[in-house]
């Protein structure tokens, strides 16, 4: 047997088959068991995909034990310090950092795709004023497929590229429209003279009746810098639940806008992107530091479904490198925006308590990126129910990059997991009068 393979033996029949070990650039070797069912007649069982690689990808690498996150090989802390969100989006989508001219064209193209079709604006009228912005975003992004369907040739790389650019460009416009619908303000058009994050802040907060007020009133450079950072940190995270959802939906050849809407729906859950909103609700519920022990006890209790939101991660079992960066930014942003948020103090106290707690130490539960992101969003005046929408804007860069990567693979196949059936054996239909 070679070193590059794994032997699988069926003890019932004694049959043995050798399976190749695939080696990536970094990370665990991967056993290629794609012919296992044909060879030995059984499936593998891996609930939650804890040990299963669902695809090959060259976009993002995570080393969970050592807290490493690389986008196209570049460490997240270097990108956080030196880059902008659009430069990172270019890197994720194209594989290399852009040269100056390339970044200029990319930015200009994104800026020019930021407008929404006028008919889309009326879609919002169908939503009740208190609809959750994520519900609006799922619906509106999905409906983009109605605007860009018939002329879309998925086999044409240029058509695919334009779809990805449109998605990245329109997300802030849709996000701001979701917010403005909820507060009853008229929608603002995107502006070509503003940078991506500035444009978003303007579309969120400017009022048409106050045109004479200096733009700087709405767009604080500290806030824009913090927003860029948050978008960079959330831009991609390899095969997480929402990205895997986008890939699975796309594997059927479905319209890309519908596939991204599926990703947005998956992101919404509190175990994934919805955690940032859940952290703030949890902190508000805890209220004061003296109640921390009570909530830690709830989190430890196996009979209580309560979990400490913003703690734990499927992959990071030491620390989340994004959390380390963002924690420091919390101090800077709160200080510079002169925003003394008691919730940040409470979060720090909760973190300190949990990190010394036996249960959290034993289970390797550390604060993740979303333990702190909500505190920054709050300081930027982004409403709590918009937090996951902010995550969706950022993650669109990752989703479209994975979509482009998958669609460019000539051999990609429809995703079709198997199951371990535990239902009744075959039985006969019983007429209603004999049941
Ligand atoms: N509070 C209390 N206990 C926890 C927590 C928590 N936040 N997270 C995990 N555990 C316990 C869990 O009860 C389990 O205990 P036991 O072994 O006794 O059954 C053990 O730790 C392992 O948990 P798991 O659910 O099997 O781990 P997972 O890898 O399936 O789940 C997770 C990872 C992130 C869903 C989970 O840690 C969690 O629910 N955290 C809170 C939600 C959260 O902050 N999510 C944001 C993730 S980062 C942003 C993103 O990428 O989406």
Interval 160-178: pLDDT, tens = 999 999 999 999 999 999 9
Q: Is 307 exposed, middle or buried (0-12, 13-18, 19+ CB in 10 A)?
A: middle
b/e code 26-48 from CB counts within 10 Å (16+ = b): eeeebbebeebeebbeeeeeeee
Sign of CA dihedral 23, 29, 30, 36: positive
Q: Which residue has the higher pLDDT, 41 or 212?
A: 41
The residue whose CA has the least distance to atom 47 of ligand 1 is 272
The residue whose CA has the least distance to atom 14 of ligand 1 is 363
Do the strands 74-75 and 5-9 form a parallel or antiparallel pair, or are they unpaired? unpaired
Residue 129: predicted pLDDT? 87
- Mean pLDDT over each residue of the chain, to the nearest integer: 93
The residue whose CA has the least distance to atom 20 of ligand 1 is 363
CB-based contact 6:19 (threshold 8 Å): yes
Interval 349-370: pLDDT, tens = 999 999 999 999 999 999 999 8
CB-based contact 272:309 (threshold 8 Å): no
Q: Is the CB of 374 under 6 A from ligand 1?
A: no
Residue 344: predicted pLDDT? 83
Measured CA distances, 350 to 285, 309, 366, 369 (Å)? 13, 11, 11, 15
Residue 217: predicted pLDDT? 66
* Model confidence at 334: pLDDT above 90: no
Residues in the chain: 435
Stretch 265-277: mean pLDDT: 92
Residue 213: predicted pLDDT? 67
Q: Residue 367 pairs with which residues in a beta bridge?
A: 311
* Model confidence at 341: pLDDT above 80: no
Q: How confident is the model at residue 48 (pLDDT cuts 50, 70, 90)?
A: very high
Q: Which atom of ligand 1 is nearest to the CA of 313?
A: 34
CA of 62 to the centre of ligand 1 (A): 18
The residue whose CA has the least distance to atom 25 of ligand 1 is 314
* Model confidence at 1: pLDDT above 70: no
The first and second tokens of residue 38, run together, are 């044909």
CB-based contact 310:370 (threshold 8 Å): yes
% pLDDT > 70, the chain: 97
Instruction: Name every residue whose Cβ is closer than 8 Å to that of residue 394 and which is 6 or more positions away in sequence.
Output: 85, 230, 231, 232, 233, 234, 235
Separation CA 58–CA 405 (nearest Å): 8
Separation CA 355–CA 364 (nearest Å): 9
From 181, 313, 357, 385, active-site residue? 313
From 237, 370, 385, 402, active-site residue? 370
Instruction: Identify the three-state secondary structure at position 69.
Output: strand
CA of 43 to the centre of ligand 1 (A): 27
HSE, CB side, 13 Å, CA atoms: give it for residue 72: 18
Stretch 62-74: mean pLDDT: 95
What does the DSSP assignment read for 140-185? HHHHHHHHSSTT--TT-HHHHHHHHHHHHHHHHHHHHHHHHHHHTP
Q: Is the CB of 48 under 6 A from ligand 1?
A: yes
The residue whose CA has the least distance to atom 32 of ligand 1 is 313
* Secondary structure tally for the chain: helices H, strands E: 18, 6
Q: How confident is the model at residue 78 (pLDDT cuts 50, 70, 90)?
A: very high
The first and second tokens of residue 257, run together, are 């806008």
pTM of this structure: 0.93
Q: Is the CB of 312 under 6 A from ligand 1?
A: yes
Instruction: Name every residue whose Cβ is closer than 8 Å to that of residue 101 and which is 6 or more positions away in sequence.
Output: none
Q: Is 225 exposed, middle or buried (0-12, 13-18, 19+ CB in 10 A)?
A: middle
Q: How confident is the model at residue 339 (pLDDT cuts 50, 70, 90)?
A: low
Residue 207: predicted pLDDT? 85
Does the active-site annotation cover 313? Answer: yes
Stretch 257-274: mean pLDDT: 95
CB-based contact 117:170 (threshold 8 Å): no
Sheet holding 30-31, edge to edge: 5-9, 16-22, 30-31
Q: Is the CB of 235 under 6 A from ligand 1?
A: no
CA of 319 to the centre of ligand 1 (A): 14
* Model confidence at 254: pLDDT above 90: yes
Question: To test ligand 1's pocket by mutation, which of 312, 347, 390 has the most ligand atoms within 8 angstroms of CB?
Answer: 312
Interval 184-219: pLDDT, tens = 999 999 999 999 999 999 999 988 887 766 666 668
Q: Is the CB of 98 under 6 A from ligand 1?
A: no
Q: Which atom of ligand 1 is nearest to the CA of 371?
A: 44
Interval 92-107: pLDDT, tens = 999 999 999 999 999 9
b/e code 158-184 from CB counts within 10 Å (16+ = b): eebeebbbbbbbbbbbbbbbbbbbbee
Q: Which atom of ligand 1 is nearest to the CA of 307?
A: 1
Instruction: Identify the three-state secondary structure at position 20.
Output: strand
HSE, CB side, 13 Å, CA atoms: give it for residue 50: 5
Does the active-site annotation cover 104? Answer: no
The residue whose CA has the least distance to atom 50 of ligand 1 is 272
Nearest C-alpha neighbor of 147 from the set 107, 117, 171, 170: 117
């Amino acid at each position: 047997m070679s070193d590059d393979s794994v032997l699988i033996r069926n003890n019932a029949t004694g049959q043995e088959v050798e399976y190749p070990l695939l080696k990536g650039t970094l990370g665990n070797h991967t056993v290629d068991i794609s012919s296992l069912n044909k060879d030995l007649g059984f499936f593998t069982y891996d609930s939650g995909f804890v040990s299963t690689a669902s695809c090959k990808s060259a976009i993002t690498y995570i080393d969970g034990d050592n807290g490493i996150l690389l986008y196209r090989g570049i460490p997240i802390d270097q990108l956080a310090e030196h880059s902008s969100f659009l430069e990172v989006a270019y890197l994720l989508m194209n594989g290399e950092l852009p040269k100056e001219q390339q970044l200029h064209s990319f930015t200009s193209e994104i800026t020019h795709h930021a407008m929404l079709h006028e008919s889309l604006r009326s879609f919002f009228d169908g939503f009740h004023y208190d609809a959750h912005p994520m519900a609006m975003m799922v619906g509106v992004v999905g409906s983009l497929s109605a605007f860009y369907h018939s002329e879309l040739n998925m086999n044409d790389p240029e058509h695919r590229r334009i779809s990805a650019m449109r998605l990245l460009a329109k997300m802030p416009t849709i996000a701001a429209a979701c917010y403005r619908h909820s507060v009853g303000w008229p929608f603002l058009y995107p502006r070509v003279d503003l940078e991506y994050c500035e444009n978003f802040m303007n579309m969120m907060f400017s009022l048409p009746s106050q045109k004479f007020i200096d733009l700087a009133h709405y767009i604080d450079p500290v806030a824009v810098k913090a927003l860029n950072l948050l978008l960079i940190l959330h831009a991609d995270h390899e095969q997480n639940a929402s990205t895997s959802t986008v890939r699975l939906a796309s594997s059927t050849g479905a319209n890309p806008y519908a596939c991204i809407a599926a990703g947005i729906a998956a992101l919404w859950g509190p175990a994934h992107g919805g955690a940032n909103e859940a952290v703030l609700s949890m902190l508000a519920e805890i209220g004061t530091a003296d109640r921390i022990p009570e909530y830690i006890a709830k989190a430890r209790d196996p009979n209580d479904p309560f979990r400490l939101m913003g703690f734990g991660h499927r992959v990071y079992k030491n620390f989340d490198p994004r959390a380390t960066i963002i924690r420091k930014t919390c101090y800077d942003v709160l200080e510079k925006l002169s925003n003394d948020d008691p919730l940040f103090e409470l979060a720090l106290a909760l973190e300190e308590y949990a990190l010394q707690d036996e249960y959290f130490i034993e289970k390797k539960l550390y604060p993740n990126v979303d333990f702190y992101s909500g505190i920054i969003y709050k300081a930027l005046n982004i409403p709590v129910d918009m937090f996951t929408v902010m995550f969706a804007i950022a993650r669109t860069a990752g989703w479209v990059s994975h979509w482009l990567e998958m669609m460019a693979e000539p051999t990609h196949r429809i995703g079709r997991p198997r199951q371990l059936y535990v239902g009744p054996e075959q039985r006969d239909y019983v007429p209603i009068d004999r049941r």
